[in-house]
Structure formats: structure tokens, C-alpha cells
Amino acid sequence: MEPMKTMKRREAISNSNLLLLIAAVIFVLMYGIAILCYPRSFFQYQTFFDLFSLNAALIIITLGETIVMIGGGIDISIGAVTGLVTMCCAVYLESGNGSIEGSILLALGIGIAFGLMQGFLIAYLEIQPFIITLAGMFLANGLLTTIHKDPLNVTMPHFVRLRDTVIVIPWLGTMNRLGNFIPLEVKPGAIVVVVLIIVLSVFLHWSRFGRNLYAVGGNSQSALMLGINVKRTKFISFVLCGLLSGIAGFVFIMTTGAGNVGNASGFEMKAIAGSIIGGTMLTGGVGNLIGSPIGALTLLTINELIRAAGINSNFQAIASGLLLCLFIVLQSSVLWLRRTGGFKLKGT
């Protein structure tokens, strides 16, 4: 029994690494094409790091979606929860009694509350994740419009200073048209993204929970026979996803400085697409957290390319859909070839 468990774990990790490698190659090719087509826009450090800084919230919820999908689930409420957190923080900060520390706790509390509620219903009452998280999305959207219908700019001085904070890296930068050197500026949200990627990647690959999550996503019945607490593993995955949605909500308002009904609208679909492009299988058991930001950045690069070319914005959705279909077919083909012995990685 133990050798079989080890073999399945190694196969899942090998599949994850293979799909991660494919995602990384695709991203490098896409960004290389962007540089060749529009060198003035893309051949700059600032442009590349702005993809992280301005889209930090999306990358964070993509991490949460990846964790849930590795465990064989899905969460389509993350965008609405992120938007709700953003609006709640804006209202709290503008109430006159708000503080940055309090808004952080509020964001984490809302995210964890949704994670606990949905995780319990999915893991312990065994209700389909799609149904529960769909209900969670409607609930979060309803609460969002009830709390405040109009856009709300946060004018609290301490928060404005936090919003305007940038980390300057003087040894990186670009020359402007006047020949002046402009150092690289990074928003705090990008630092949060990097820290979360490192911490969560280590946690998933070196903890018992991480190993259990891959096993549950690969085959929950086999995981149960191996003595893994399947329900607890699924429950924790949704709690982590909720927690990351809360963090994403605060990072979002820290970046934009405002709460809006349209905040994080559509983020759930972009997060799912980013996870798949990054090498996470919808069927579960295969995925890599490092691939999540790569998948999200691939989508963002395509959107920026379309915008730079002056093409109608509707083509962004078309291009994203085509890329998503391509990756699903590519993933299925690669794993089919591995099962049939078409090619094997060393060590499998």
C-alpha cells in the first residue's frame, strides 16, 4: 500500500512539474513576442513589474483557486468575496473610526468566514462545490450592493499614504525619451504576492496537508483508504481560499484606493483560467502554485498586447477563451501520452 501511495504522489508531482514547464515556456514566448512587436512598451523593467503591482489581487485569488482545484474542488465566489472585502474596508475606513489595522482584520475575517461556511457545507455535508460557491457568490454580491451602491474613495490620510507608497529599486529602471534615468517602482502588493507564493509553495510541498491535498484531488476514495482525512483536507483548502480572498480584497483597495460595486468583477473566471493555464487540472491532483502567477501573467500579457495593438477590447475575451481551450487540450494530450507511455519524465 505504501509503495503505491509513493508512486502516485511522484506521478502527480511529475505531471505538475511538466505542465508548469509548458506554462513557463508559453509565457516566455508570449512576452518575447510582445517585446519584439512593441519594444518601447514591453522592453522595460517597469512594464513587467507593473503586471505584478497592478494585478496583485488577481494573482492572490488565483493562488487560492489553485489550492482548491488541486484538491478536486472549485470556488467561483472568490471574485465576489474580494469585492465585498474591498467595499467593507472602504466603508470602515471612511466611517471616521476606522484604522488600517482594523481594516486588515476586517478583510481577513470576511474571507475566513466565507471559507469556513463554504468549506463546512462542501466537505462535511458533501454538497457540490459549484452549487455552494455559486450561492456564496450571490450572497457576497448582494451584501456588497447593500452595504454601499456607489463608488467610495478612501480619503483617510494614513491610508492615502499607504496607497501611494512605492518601493524604489534604484539599480533597475529605464531611460525616458529625454535621456533621464527613472528607477523602478514597485507597489507593496507585489511584495505581498511574492511572499505568499513562497510561503504557500513551501507549505504545499513540504507539509502533510500539501501531500494529502494532492492525494485527495487525485482520488479521494484511494486517499480515504490510505487513512487520509478527506473531509478535513477539503475543508482546510476552502478556508485557505477564503483567507486569500480576504488578503486580495485588502491588496485591491490598497492599490486602487476605492471601493466600487464593480471591484473584482469577473476575477473568479480569470482566476480559474489562470490556474488552468498555469498547469492545474480541473480534475484535481495535479497543479503547482508557482504556475498560478505564470498563468495569470500570460493572460495579462495577451490583454496588454491587444491593447497596445489598438484592437477592440472584445478580442481580449476571445483570445483568453482560445488560450484556455488550447491549454485544456494540451494538458489532456500530455497526460494521455504519459499514461500510454508516449513519453516519460526521468524518475517516473
Question: What tens-digit pLDDT sequence spans the chain (348 residues)?
Answer: 444 444 444 444 467 788 888 888 888 988 888 888 888 778 788 888 888 888 999 999 999 999 999 999 999 999 999 999 999 999 999 887 878 999 999 999 999 999 999 999 999 999 999 999 999 999 999 999 888 877 888 888 888 898 888 888 887 777 666 667 778 888 899 999 999 999 999 999 899 999 999 999 988 889 999 899 999 999 999 999 999 999 999 999 998 888 877 766 788 888 998 898 888 888 888 888 998 899 999 888 888 888 877 776 667 677 777 777 877 787 777 777 767 765 554 443
Instruction: Compute CA distances 128 → 118, 125, 135, 140, whole Å.
Output: 10, 9, 11, 19
Distance CA 74, CA 269 (A): 11
Residue holding cell 452549487? 131
Classify residue 120: in a domain, yes or no: yes
Q: Tell me what pLDDT residue 167 has.
A: 87
Q: Tell me what pLDDT residue 112 has.
A: 97
Classify residue 132: in a domain, yes or no: yes
Classify residue 345: in a domain, yes or no: no
Stated as kind and residue range, the H or E segment containing 183 is strand 181-186
Classify residue 347: in a domain, yes or no: no
Direct distance between the N- and C-terminal alpha carbons of the chain, in angstroms, rounded to an integer: 18
Classify residue 179: in a domain, yes or no: yes
Classify residue 197: in a domain, yes or no: yes
Q: Could you give the residue ranges of the DSSP H alpha helices within 38-94?
A: 39-42, 45-54, 56-70, 78-93
Distance CA 63, CA 20 (A): 14
Number of domains in the chain: 1
R_g over Cα of the chain: 21
Distance CA 250, CA 82 (A): 8
Stated as kind and residue range, the H or E segment containing 173 is strand 167-175
Helix (H, G, I), strand (E, B) or coil at 36: helix
181 DSSP β-pair partners: 175
Q: Tell me what pLDDT residue 2 has.
A: 46
pTM across the whole model: 0.88
Classify residue 344: in a domain, yes or no: no
Q: Tell me what pLDDT residue 263 has.
A: 67
185 DSSP β-pair partners: 168
Helix (H, G, I), strand (E, B) or coil at 153: strand
Q: Tell me what pLDDT residue 323 has.
A: 76
In this structure, the chain runs to a length of 348
Classify residue 77: in a domain, yes or no: yes
Range of the domain at 154: 2-339
Instruction: Compute CA distances 88 → 95, 112, 268, whole Å.
Output: 11, 14, 19
**CATH at residue 138:** 1.10.3470
Residue pair 320/273 in contact by the 8 Å Cβ criterion: yes
Distance CA 20, CA 286 (A): 10
Cβ atoms within 10 Å of 308's Cβ, excluding its own: 14
Q: Tell me what pLDDT residue 74 has.
A: 94
Distance CA 299, CA 323 (A): 8
Q: Tell me what pLDDT residue 64 has.
A: 95
Q: Tell me what pLDDT residue 348 has.
A: 39
